[in-house]
């Protein structure tokens, strides 16, 4: 009796890796996803990058909220690249939307007025912009030796996945701030 | 808040209109969400793509994702995506949702647009709570603020300055006397001993005088430096104490320590030494420049010509240096943070055997710090010789041209010696001024970090006429909304009344907002909507001091300060007698274990009280709360981390403590709250139920489910055990 119960608890806590071949996502009108895993259909499904700073497609948690708004994790996809054609598109588009982060392609100048803010004039794949960054020592930083992560005063997030790919002037500009 | 930023072409009935800039394919779009008297209209460019009657949806939700947000309408179980936008518009959409929720409840479309949104007249940047535009503000303004700090010590400063200037004047007179000795005594072989001795006496006299001025200057400077340093440290520390929890928690402890100690020290040094020196050196350069010009304008031109080049070069260098020193500051703060973190968690480091990892982390931080200093200094060391070389070209030219003038007998040897002495003297302050970019760059970083704290607005501040009252203990939550992120409410529409002397338990799942309710009563944060009343007075109208001295808290994690058991209990009431302390310890069931300690009440508790057990620390915390004699007592999981026997002892102590006081307790173990007069049950941030244990059990609602779930878990544990 005791052993069975222990097993039961163990299974509940176990990491459930989802089989990509059985997953069938579709986009809901709500902006979230519906998932049919062959056994059950889940609505208002949310995908979450478990290691957002490390990988964009690996270890994606699949979860939903029930009518009581209680969180339930359906499982984890090891890599959404293993999803079939259109399925990958749906999951990847959802993740790109949820984690919308324009990529910085150029840094023209950084202005530090010694008041805790910096103003960074950048070019991104979503256009040119001057970013106002508050508490910049925590909101303008490298999250890996090569990836720049920026959060502006409004909470918009920007990234430069590989600062080595920037032009020399941009590299010089950020060099002293990260 | 302005909710009509722009309207699509042809839309004339918009009450509110907010742009949106994204589609679900993460493409930039140009759209508007328009609210009219009775409709919500979604525009893409200037065409309506969707429209619904305002009351079509049961609820409008502003769903914040990670990188963007979206507006969703809910109708029954169905949700409809309406538009997506970057976080730039999030606050406005969240405000719009609140207005639409009000509309759903009352049928009125009402906007509170009292709050003006000031923006910089020059660049248009929204000013939020700032008074000066952070973009347009000049760097020099922070320095002016720093200089103003010296105002209370202006007389000391003036004395030090006067003495230094007089010393400089003396050093200027000295070469004139040397010239007289050379031209009137040495070259003509003048044997007038009396006149010679008078001049020598004058030379010795002025040197002696210079020494006296120097001593007075040093004493005044030293006194002023210490006072300014003390004031700054105290001011920064006091400001940190006054800042709200949200302001403090966004910074690391290591970073804050650095600002209070190192940065304040750097400013002390700057004001006392470099500030005065700057004035004196500029004075010297001006005086000497005038002198050499008067003596020989042609030679003076050769001396002073390189100065503009050096100044231009140094201004450019300052910008480079200030950025590099900013990096040094960041690296040293990171090092402080690693140090503080590791030493603070030394028990965890040791118990996991991760000393090597901790050492590696420290080495890395230390190495990065050293590297940043090297990077900053290398620029300096590479450019400095160049500046000095440019500057000194003038002296060679003076020797060349001055020498030929002596040979042509258009200049006496004495005049040349006097001239070259002045030229040598002018290079002293000029050489110091060359160093200025480095000093200024280093200090600028510390100035900005210190003033960032000093200038920060306290978001939980006492009102102008804050009241000091004797609290009785009635607490009212009146439609309270609160979120740590303003538009992501943790508590939604909480309304309840707690009567004086009642024992109230707050229950609910983790993260439901139990501790948040307590944080609001303590006014560690202000509620975003609604109000909290104590004895019928809005707590925002009570002075924080009056409120917090009459509210006592016992937390799950007890924090004991380094000091004795006696000091830690007395912390709640500094003027308490030893007998009062013993009585409090006795009520808290702490006296018995304290007596058994070899040094009794004088026993040092060690860093954070680690020399005591968890139960002992908790009992000291309860004794502290008893001594505090609060009118309102808050117990936040006060017994959660203790074993059953210790918990029983502490429950006994607590039952004595709560007698006659309004008590609010949070406990995960619901059995601990069974004796509460009333239970507040929170669910998804809302007040789900309120009433005594028996009544709630009969209702079979959220509380009943919680109790049943907990009983089930206990049974399962028993089976496994």
Q: What is the mean pLDDT of residues B633-656?
A: 73
Find which of A97, A150, A178 to mutate to test the B interface (most B CBs within 10 Å of its CB): A97
**How much is the pLDDT for A98?**
92
**How much is the pLDDT for B715?**
62
pLDDT at B462 over 70: yes
Find which of A114, A116, A117, A120 to mutate to test the B interface (most B CBs within 10 Å of its CB): A114
Q: What is the mean pLDDT of residues B613-638?
A: 85
Does the beta-carbon distance from A31 to B24 stay under 8 Å? yes
Residue B494's DSSP bridge partners are B480
The answer to whether B131 faces chain A, any CB pair under 8 Å, is no
Collapsing DSSP to helix, strand or coil, B60 comes out as strand
Kindly report, residue by residue over A125-151, the tens digit of the pLDDT. Answer: 989 999 988 878 778 988 888 899 999
pLDDT bracket for residue A81 (50, 70, 90): very high
d(Cα B507, Cα B679) in Å, to the nearest integer? 7
| B437 shares a domain with B411 | yes
| B397 shares a domain with B250 | yes
Buried b (16+ CB within 10 A) or exposed e, B427-440: bebbebbbbbbbbb
List of residues 6+ apart from B493 with CB closer than 8 A: B479, B480, B481, B530, B686, B687
Query: DSSP letters of B440-466?
Result: HHHHHHHHHHHHHHHTPPPSS---TT-
Kindly report, residue by residue over B158-167, the tens digit of the pLDDT. Answer: 888 888 888 8
| B154 shares a domain with B85 | no
**CA distance to partner chain A, nearest, from residue B247 (Å):** 11
d(Cα B98, Cα B486) in Å, to the nearest integer? 12
| B480 shares a domain with B368 | no
| B357 shares a domain with B410 | yes
Number of domains in chain B: 3
| B231 shares a domain with B164 | yes
> For residues B471 and B521, is the Cβ–Cβ distance under 8 A?
no
d(Cα A42, Cα A72) in Å, to the nearest integer? 11
Chain A residues touching B716 at Cβ < 8 A: 5, 9
- Closest residue to A2, CB basis, from B142, B326, B720: B720
**CA distance to partner chain B, nearest, from residue A156 (Å):** 5
Q: What are phi and psi of A90, to 5 degrees?
A: -65, -50
Find which of B66, B329, B709 to mutate to test the A interface (most A CBs within 10 Å of its CB): B66
Which residue from B74, B253, B178, B694 is spatially nearest to B414, judged by alpha carbons? B178
Does the beta-carbon distance from B720 to A115 stay under 8 Å? no
The answer to whether A53 faces chain B, any CB pair under 8 Å, is no
Does the beta-carbon distance from A114 to B716 stay under 8 Å? no
Chain B residues touching A137 at Cβ < 8 A: 330, 333
Residue B711 within any structural domain of the chain: yes
d(Cα B197, Cα B614) in Å, to the nearest integer? 83
8-state DSSP, B588 = T
pLDDT bracket for residue A11 (50, 70, 90): very low
pLDDT at B518 over 70: yes
Stronger pLDDT, B240 or B7, i.e. the higher one: B7
Last residue of a domain, one of B425, B454, B483: B454
Does the beta-carbon distance from B719 to A5 stay under 8 Å? yes
**For chain B, how are helix, strand and coil distributed in percent, rounded to 5?**
60, 15, 25
Q: How far is CA B531 from CA B38, B478, B487, B520, B680, in A?
A: 31, 5, 17, 10, 18
> For residues A84 and A20, is the Cβ–Cβ distance under 8 A?
yes
- Closest residue to B66, CB basis, from A27, A99, A126: A99
For residue B546, give the H/E element and its range.
helix B544-549
d(Cα B558, Cα B716) in Å, to the nearest integer? 31
Kindly report, residue by residue over B564-601, the tens digit of the pLDDT. Answer: 899 999 988 888 899 989 988 888 888 988 998 888 89
d(Cα B375, Cα B379) in Å, to the nearest integer? 7
Q: Which two tokens stand for residue B291?
A: 């002198």
Last residue of a domain, one of B106, B138, B168: B106
- Closest residue to B66, CB basis, from A98, A112, A116: A98
**How much is the pLDDT for B387?**
82
List of residues 6+ apart from B408 with CB closer than 8 A: none
Buried b (16+ CB within 10 A) or exposed e, B570-600: bbbbeebeeebbbbbbbbbbbbebbeebeee
Give the domain CATH number at B703: 3.40.50.300
Instruction: Give the strands of the sheet with B78-86, arranged side by side.
Output: B47-53, B39-44, B28-35, B16-22, B78-86, B68-75, B59-64
8-state DSSP, A18 = -
| B444 shares a domain with B354 | yes
- Closest residue to B67, CB basis, from A132, A157, A177: A157
| B472 shares a domain with B446 | no
The answer to whether A117 faces chain B, any CB pair under 8 Å, is yes
Collapsing DSSP to helix, strand or coil, B473 comes out as coil
Interface size between A and B, measured as CB pairs under 8 A? 117
Chain B residues touching A67 at Cβ < 8 A: 77
**How much is the pLDDT for B127?**
65
Please state which of the ranges A73-77, A155-159, B553-557 shows the lowest mean pLDDT.
B553-557
Give percent of chain B with pLDDT exceeding 70.
Answer: 93
Q: 3-class secondary structure for B382-443?
A: HHHHHHHHHHHHHHHHHHHHHHHHHHCCCCCHHHHHHHHHHHHHHHHHHHHHHHHHHHHHHH
d(Cα B482, Cα B489) in Å, to the nearest integer? 5
> For residues B94 and B62, is the Cβ–Cβ distance under 8 A?
yes
Identify the sign of the CA torsion B126, B128, B131, B135.
negative
Which residue from B31, B28, B99 is spatially nearest to B62, judged by alpha carbons? B99
The end-to-end CA distance of chain B, in Å, is 59
**How much is the pLDDT for A2?**
44
Chain B residues touching A132 at Cβ < 8 A: 125, 134-135
| B279 shares a domain with B224 | yes
Does the beta-carbon distance from A100 to B67 stay under 8 Å? yes
Q: Which of A154-168, B273-287, B433-447 has the highest mean pLDDT?
A: A154-168
> For residues B134 and B125, is the Cβ–Cβ distance under 8 A?
yes
Buried b (16+ CB within 10 A) or exposed e, B72-109: bbeeeeebbbbbbbbbbbbbbbbbbbbbbeebeeeeeb
d(Cα B61, Cα B70) in Å, to the nearest integer? 8
Please compute, for residue B374, the number of CA atoms within 13 A of its CA located in the half-sphere on the CB side.
6
Q: How far is CA B522 from CA B47, B244, B361, B707, in A?
A: 51, 12, 38, 28
Task: Please name the residues between 39 and 98 in chain B that touch chain A, using a CB distance below 8 Å.
Answer: 63, 65-68, 70, 72, 77-81, 84, 86-88, 90
- Closest residue to B134, CB basis, from A99, A113, A177: A113
Does the beta-carbon distance from A115 to B26 stay under 8 Å? no
Chain A residues touching B63 at Cβ < 8 A: 31
Chain A residues touching B80 at Cβ < 8 A: 29-30
The end-to-end CA distance of chain A, in Å, is 58
| Alpha helical stretches, state H, B243-275 | 245-249, 253-258, 264-269
pLDDT bracket for residue B370 (50, 70, 90): very high
Q: Which two tokens stand for residue B162?
A: 């006067």
Q: What is the mean pLDDT of residues B266-293?
A: 80
Find which of B30, B90, B134, B323 to mutate to test the A interface (most A CBs within 10 Å of its CB): B134
Task: Please name the residues between 136 and 155 in chain A that touch chain B, using a CB distance below 8 Å.
Answer: 137-138, 154-155
Does the beta-carbon distance from B326 to A111 stay under 8 Å? no
pLDDT at A164 over 50: yes
| B420 shares a domain with B320 | yes
| B194 shares a domain with B243 | yes
List of residues 6+ apart from B208 with CB closer than 8 A: none
**How much is the pLDDT for B343?**
87
Task: Please name the residues between 561 and 580 in chain B that touch chain A, using a CB distance below 8 Å.
Answer: none
Which residue from B303, B279, B283, B308 is spatially nearest to B293, judged by alpha carbons? B303
The answer to whether B194 faces chain A, any CB pair under 8 Å, is no
**How much is the pLDDT for B113?**
57
**How much is the pLDDT for B22?**
92
The answer to whether B226 faces chain A, any CB pair under 8 Å, is no
pLDDT bracket for residue A70 (50, 70, 90): confident
Q: How far is CA B716 from CA A39, B487, B645, B721, in A?
A: 29, 40, 21, 9
**CA distance to partner chain A, nearest, from residue B685 (Å):** 11
pLDDT bracket for residue B643 (50, 70, 90): low
The answer to whether A8 faces chain B, any CB pair under 8 Å, is no
Chain A residues touching B489 at Cβ < 8 A: none
**How much is the pLDDT for B180?**
84
| B489 shares a domain with B374 | no
Q: How far is CA B194 from CA B191, B197, B199, B321, B361, in A?
A: 9, 5, 9, 56, 74
Residue B122 within any structural domain of the chain: no
d(Cα B30, Cα B5) in Å, to the nearest integer? 13
Q: Which domain holds residue B712?
A: 467-550+665-721
Give the domain CATH number at B45: 2.30.29.30
Token pair 């949702």 in the structure block, residue: B97
> For residues B554 and B635, is the Cβ–Cβ distance under 8 A?
yes
Angle between helix B154-180 and helix B276-295 axes, rounded to 10 deg: 30
Residue B419 within any structural domain of the chain: yes
Does the beta-carbon distance from B26 to A177 stay under 8 Å? no
The answer to whether B28 faces chain A, any CB pair under 8 Å, is yes
The answer to whether A99 faces chain B, any CB pair under 8 Å, is yes
Residue B191 within any structural domain of the chain: yes
> For residues B239 and B263, is the Cβ–Cβ distance under 8 A?
no
Q: What is the mean pLDDT of residues B41-58?
A: 92
Q: What is the mean pLDDT of residues B2-17?
A: 87
Which residue from A38, A32, A8, A4 is spatially nearest to A20, judged by alpha carbons? A38
Does the beta-carbon distance from A176 to B324 stay under 8 Å? yes
> For residues B54 and B38, is the Cβ–Cβ distance under 8 A?
yes
d(Cα B50, Cα B80) in Å, to the nearest integer? 11
Chain A residues touching B93 at Cβ < 8 A: none
The vertex-B447 CA angle with B441 and B450, nearest 5°, equals: 145
- Closest residue to A6, CB basis, from B25, B66, B720: B720
**CA distance to partner chain A, nearest, from residue B205 (Å):** 48
Residue B257 within any structural domain of the chain: yes
């Amino acid at each position: 009796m005791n052993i069975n119960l222990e097993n039961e608890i163990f299974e509940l806590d176990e990491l459930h890796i989802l089989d990509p071949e059985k997953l069938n996502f579709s986009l809901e009108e709500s902006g979230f996803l519906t998932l049919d895993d062959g056994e059950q259909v889940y609505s208002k499904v949310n995908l979450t990058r478990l290691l957002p700073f490390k990988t964009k497609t690996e270890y994606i948690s699949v979860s939903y909220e029930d009518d009581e708004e209680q969180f339930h994790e359906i499982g984890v996809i090891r890599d959404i690249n293993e999803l079939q054609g259109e399925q990958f598109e749906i999951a990847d588009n959802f993740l790109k939307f949820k984690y919308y982060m324009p990529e910085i392609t150029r840094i023209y100048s950084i202005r530090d007025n010694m008041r805790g803010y910096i103003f960074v004039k950048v070019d991104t794949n979503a256009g040119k912009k001057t970013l106002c960054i508050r508490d910049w020592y925590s909101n303008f930083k490298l999250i890996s030796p090569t990836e720049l992560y920026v959060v502006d005063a409004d909470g918009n997030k920007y990234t430069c996945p590989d600062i080595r790919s920037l032009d020399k002037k941009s590299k010089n500009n950020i060099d002293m701030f990260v | 808040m302005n909710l009509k930023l722009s309207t699509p072409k042809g839309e004339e009935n918009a009450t509110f209109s907010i742009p949106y800039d994204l589609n679900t394919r993460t493409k930039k779009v140009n759209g508007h969400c328009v609210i009219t008297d009775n409709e919500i209209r979604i525009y893409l460019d200037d065409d309506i793509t969707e429209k619904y009657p305002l009351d079509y949806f049961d609820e409008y939700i502003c769903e914040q994702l990670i990188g963007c947000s979206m507006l969703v309408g809910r109708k029954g179980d169905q949700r409809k995506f309406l538009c997506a936008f970057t976080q730039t518009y999030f606050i406005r959409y969240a405000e719009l949702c609140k207005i639409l929720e009000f509309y759903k409840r009352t049928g009125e479309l009402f906007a509170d647009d009292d709050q003006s949104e000031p923006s910089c007249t020059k660049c248009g940047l929204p000013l939020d709570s700032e008074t000066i535009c952070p973009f347009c503000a000049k760097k020099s303004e922070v320095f002016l603020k720093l200089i103003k700090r010296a105002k209370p010590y202006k007389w000391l400063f003036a004395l030090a300055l006067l003495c230094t200037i007089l010393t400089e004047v003396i050093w200027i007179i000295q070469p004139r006397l040397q010239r007289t000795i050379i031209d009137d005594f040495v070259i003509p072989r003048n044997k007038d001993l009396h006149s010679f001795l008078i001049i020598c006496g004058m030379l010795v006299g002025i040197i002696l005088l210079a020494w006296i001025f120097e001593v007075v200057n040093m004493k005044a400077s030293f006194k002023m430096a210490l006072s300014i340093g003390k004031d700054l440290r105290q001011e920064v520390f006091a400001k940190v104490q006054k800042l709200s929890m949200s302001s403090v928690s966004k910074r690391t402890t290591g970073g804050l320590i650095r600002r209070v100690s190192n940065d304040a020290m750097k400013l002390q040094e700057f004001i006392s030494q470099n500030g005065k020196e700057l004035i004196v050196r500029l004075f010297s350069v001006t005086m000497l420049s005038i002198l050499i010009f008067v003596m020989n304008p042609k030679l003076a031109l050769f001396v002073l010509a390189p100065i503009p080049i050096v100044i231009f070069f140094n201004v450019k260098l300052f910008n480079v240096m200030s950025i590099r020193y900013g990096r040094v500051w960041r690296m040293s703060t990171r090092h402080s943070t690693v140090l503080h973190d590791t030493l603070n968690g030394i028990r965890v480091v040791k118990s996991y055997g991760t000393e090597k990892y901790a050492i590696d982390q420290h080495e890395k931080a230390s190495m990065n710090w050293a590297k940043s200093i090297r990077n900053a200094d290398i620029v300096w060391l590479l450019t400095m010789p160049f500046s000095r070389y440019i500057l000194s070209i003038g002296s060679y030219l003076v020797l060349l041209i001055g020498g030929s003038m002596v040979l042509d007998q258009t200049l006496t040897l004495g005049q040349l010696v006097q001239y070259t002495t002045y030229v040598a003297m002018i290079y002293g302050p000029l050489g110091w001024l060359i160093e200025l970019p480095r000093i200024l760059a280093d200090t600028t970083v510390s100035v900005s970090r210190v003033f960032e704290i000093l200038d920060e607005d306290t978001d939980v501040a006492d009102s102008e006429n804050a009241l000091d009252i004797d609290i009785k203990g009635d607490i009212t939550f009146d439609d309270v909304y609160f979120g740590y992120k303003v538009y992501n409410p943790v508590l939604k529409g909480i309304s309840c009344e707690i009567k004086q002397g009642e024992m109230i338990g707050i229950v609910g799942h983790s993260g439901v907002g139990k501790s948040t309710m307590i944080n609001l009563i303590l006014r560690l944060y202000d509620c975003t909507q609604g109000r909290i009343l104590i004895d019928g007075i809005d707590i925002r109208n009570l002075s924080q001091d009056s409120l917090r001295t009459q509210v006592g808290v016992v937390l799950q994690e007890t924090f004991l300060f380094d000091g004795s058991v006696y000091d830690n209990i007395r912390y709640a009431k500094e003027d308490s007698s030893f007998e009062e302390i013993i009585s409090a310890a006795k009520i808290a069931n702490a006296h018995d274990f304290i007596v058994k300690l070899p040094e009794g009440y004088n026993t040092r508790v060690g860093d954070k009280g680690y020399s005591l057990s968890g139960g002992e620390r908790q009992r000291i915390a309860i004794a502290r709360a008893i001594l505090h004699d609060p009118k309102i007592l808050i117990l936040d999981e006060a017994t959660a981390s203790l074993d059953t026997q210790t918990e029983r002892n502490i429950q006994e102590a607590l039952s004595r403590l709560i007698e006659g006081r309004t008590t609010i307790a949070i406990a995960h173990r619901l059995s601990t709250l069974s004796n509460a007069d009333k239970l507040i049950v929170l669910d998804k941030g809302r007040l789900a139920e309120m009433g005594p244990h028996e009544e709630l059990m009969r209702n079979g609602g959220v509380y009943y489910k919680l109790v049943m779930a907990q009983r089930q878990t206990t049974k399962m544990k028993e089976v496994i055990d």
